[in-house]
């Protein structure tokens, strides 16, 4: 028995949040012998970005959104309805603290430090994911087909070479491709690309919601439980941590994990802690009868969208809409994604599809918050993974288990 398993054996641990991060933590801690109770206002994986995201285990996608030059690029993108970065005008003032920090993180040296931190974090992602999914009986949900990055302009392709060299430095194989090689791999693509890269190690899942559900099922089979409750706060007590519910009730635990995505922010604030976190919303369409076959995930770098084959068909979308509040989805974005999808896949059948929008929890530096609470070391934070919740979930769970050790 490892030191972690020995310490967690029989511990009564609460996990606040039943998205991909909470589910990974619950499954891993249960495997270590802990008695885990997961709380969420919705059923596992049915709220937030876990339900209909792009389905990627994107370990080599460790480049922060706050990059050198992003400030100069941002305004033209915000004015372009088809660009990947969006921010409603009414949100600018509310987001100002986050935006100021974001701009500071776009400094060249800070950006490089953040790249190195995320690259190191993601080194073990594939091994950790495969280990946890095997434990939970989910290995057959993983697709090991690699991914393509494709570029429409020669200029954007040339600018990308340094990023792929950095991926190589962190152990991710990147193979340059000519247009002819791209079309040989994916014949359904429009003939508009000047080149690209193949990343063989990239993985996807068949359905991200089924992953969350499967991890929770494993937790429950091992003696854990899920309770549909709306959490109002966490506080220290003589015996550990009290979880308070909005209905006025409470429950006591030895330790607790806050893994509620964007919903973590008010819980942290009530502990007297301030974390810069905002919703970075993504949009996609899933075509249930696409009429074309995609063999692997494809990233369209110039459009800010990705395409993935999932159980339901072909999923296309992406973008980053920065918002501070739970405002309604912009329905016009779905029409624009549909137009882009037709351009990228000329033979795509678009008649049957369904939309999705999810609020990804985004930090200004793109680094997840995985740390003990300063208010109570029996409370551990695990949120802010942005686009990489599915990618970093298993690795986060192992780091959280270490943070639950004394010291």
Residue 297 has pLDDT above 70, yes or no: yes
Q: For 82-126, how does the pLDDT look when each residue is reduced to its tens digit (9 = 90+)?
A: 666 777 777 778 888 998 999 999 999 999 999 999 999 999 999
Q: How far apart are CA 260 and CA 231, in angstroms?
A: 10
Q: For 267-292, how does the pLDDT look when each residue is reduced to its tens digit (9 = 90+)?
A: 999 999 989 999 999 999 999 999 99
Locate 248 and state its tokens. 């006025």
The whole-number pLDDT of residue 288 equals 98
The whole-number pLDDT of residue 313 equals 97
- How many other CB atoms are found less than 10 A from the CB of residue 232? 16
Contact 38, 256 (CB under 8 A): no
Q: What percentage of the chain has pLDDT greater than the value 90? A: 83
The whole-number pLDDT of residue 51 equals 85
Contact 209, 245 (CB under 8 A): no
Residue 79 has pLDDT above 60, yes or no: no
The whole-number pLDDT of residue 82 equals 65
Q: Across the chain, what does the average pLDDT equal?
A: 93
Residue 14 has pLDDT above 70, yes or no: yes
Locate 328 and state its tokens. 């309604």
Name the burial class of residue 14, with classes exposed (0-12), middle (13-18) and buried (19+) by CB atoms within 10 angstroms of its CB: buried
- Which CATH entry fits the domain spanning 3-403: 3.50.50.60, 1.10.10.10, 2.60.40.10, 3.10.310.30? 3.50.50.60
The whole-number pLDDT of residue 84 equals 67
Task: Place 78 in a pLDDT band, splitting at 50, 70 and 90.
Answer: low
* Phi-psi group of 146: left, alpha or beta (phi > 0 → left; psi -120 to 50 → alpha; rest → beta): left
The whole-number pLDDT of residue 289 equals 98
CA neighbor of 284 nearest in space, from 254, 258, 313, 253: 313
Locate 356 and state its tokens. 């999705």
Q: How much is the pTM?
A: 0.95
Q: How far apart are CA 160 and CA 140, in angstroms?
A: 33
The whole-number pLDDT of residue 74 equals 65
**Taking residues 367-388, what's their average pLDDT?**
96
Domain boundaries of the chain, sorted by first residue: 3-403
The whole-number pLDDT of residue 76 equals 64
Residues 6+ apart with CB under 8 A from 193: 150, 151, 152, 179, 182
The whole-number pLDDT of residue 75 equals 59
Task: Place 50 in a pLDDT band, splitting at 50, 70 and 90.
Answer: confident
The whole-number pLDDT of residue 394 equals 98
Locate 51 and state its tokens. 């339900």
CA neighbor of 366 nearest in space, from 171, 119, 148, 199: 119
Q: How far apart are CA 207 and CA 399, in angstroms?
A: 25
Residues 6+ apart with CB under 8 A from 4: 32, 401, 402, 404, 405
Task: Place 325 in a pLDDT band, splitting at 50, 70 and 90.
Answer: low
Partners of residue 242 on adjacent β-strands: 235, 252
The whole-number pLDDT of residue 320 equals 84
Q: How far apart are CA 231 and CA 250, in angstroms?
A: 9
Task: Place 323 in a pLDDT band, splitting at 50, 70 and 90.
Answer: confident
Please state the three-class secondary structure of the chain as a single string: CCHHHHHHCCCEEEEECCCHHHHHHHHHHHHCCCEEEEEECCCCCCCHHHCCCCCEECCCCCCCCCCCCHHHHHHHHHHCCCCCEECCHHHCCCCHHHHHHHHHHCCHHHHHHHHHHHHHHHCCHHHHHHHHHHHCCCHHHEECCCEEEEECCHHHHHHHHHHHHHHHHCCCCCEEECHHHHHHHCCCCCCCCCEEEEECCCEEECCHHHHHHHHHHHHHHCCCEEEECCEEEEEEECCEEEEEECCCCEEEECEEEECCHHHHHHHHHHCCCCCCCEEEEEEEEEECCCCCCCCCEEEECCCCEEEEEECCEEEEEEEEEEECCCCCCCHHHHHHHHHHHHHHCCCCCCCCEEEEEEEEEECCCCCCEEEECCCCCCEEEEECCHHHHHHHHHHHHHHHHHHCCCC
Residue 227 has pLDDT above 60, yes or no: yes
Contact 404, 7 (CB under 8 A): yes
CA neighbor of 150 nearest in space, from 181, 119, 123: 181
Q: What percentage of the chain has pLDDT greater than the value 70? A: 95
């Amino acid at each position: 028995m490892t030191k972690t398993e020995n310490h967690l054996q029989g511990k009564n641990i609460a996990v606040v949040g039943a998205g991909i991060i909470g589910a990974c933590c619950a499954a891993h801690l249960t495997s270590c012998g802990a008695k885990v109770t997961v709380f969420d206002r919705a059923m596992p994986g049915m709220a937030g970005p876990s339900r209909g995201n792009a389905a990627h285990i994107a370990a080599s996608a460790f480049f922060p959104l706050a990059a050198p030059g992003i400030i100069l690029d941002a305004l033209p993108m915000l004015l372009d309805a088809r660009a990947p970065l969006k921010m409603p005008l009414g949100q600018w003032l509310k987001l100002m603290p986050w935006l100021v920090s974001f701009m500071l993180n776009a400094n060249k040296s800070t950006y490089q430090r953040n790249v190195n931190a995320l690259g190191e974090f993601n080194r073990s992602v594939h091994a950790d994911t495969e280990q946890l999914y095997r434990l939970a009986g989910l290995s057959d949900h993983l697709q090991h087909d690699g991914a393509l990055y494709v570029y429409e302009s020669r200029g954007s392709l040339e600018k990308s070479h340094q990023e792929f060299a950095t991926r190589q430095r962190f152990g991710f194989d990147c193979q340059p491709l000519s247009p002819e090689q791209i079309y040989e791999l994916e014949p359904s693509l429009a003939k508009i690309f000047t080149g690209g890269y193949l990343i063989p190690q990239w993985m996807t899942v068949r359905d991200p919601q089924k992953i969350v559900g499967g991890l929770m099922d494993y937790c429950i089979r091992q003696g854990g439980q899920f309770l549909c409750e709306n959490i109002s706060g966490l506080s220290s007590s003589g015996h550990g941590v009290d979880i308070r519910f909005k209905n006025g009730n409470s429950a006591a635990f030895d330790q607790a994990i806050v893994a509620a995505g964007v919903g973590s922010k008010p819980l942290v604030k009530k502990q007297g802690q301030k974390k810069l976190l905002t919703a970075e919303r993504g949009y996609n369409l899933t075509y249930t009868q696409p009429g074309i076959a995609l063999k692997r995930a494809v990233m369209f770098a110039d459009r800010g969208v990705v395409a993935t084959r999932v159980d339901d068909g072909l999923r296309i979308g992406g973008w980053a809409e920065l918002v501070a509040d739970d405002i309604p989805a912009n329905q016009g974005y779905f029409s624009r994604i549909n137009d882009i999808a037709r351009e990228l896949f000329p033979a795509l059948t678009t008649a049957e599809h369904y939309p999705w929008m999810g609020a990804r929890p985004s930090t200004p530096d793109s680094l997840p918050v995985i740390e003990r609470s300063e208010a109570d070391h029996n409370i551990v934070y695990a949120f802010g993974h942005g686009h990489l919740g599915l990618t970093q979930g298993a690795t986060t769970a192992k780091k959280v288990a270490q943070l639950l050790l004394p010291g």
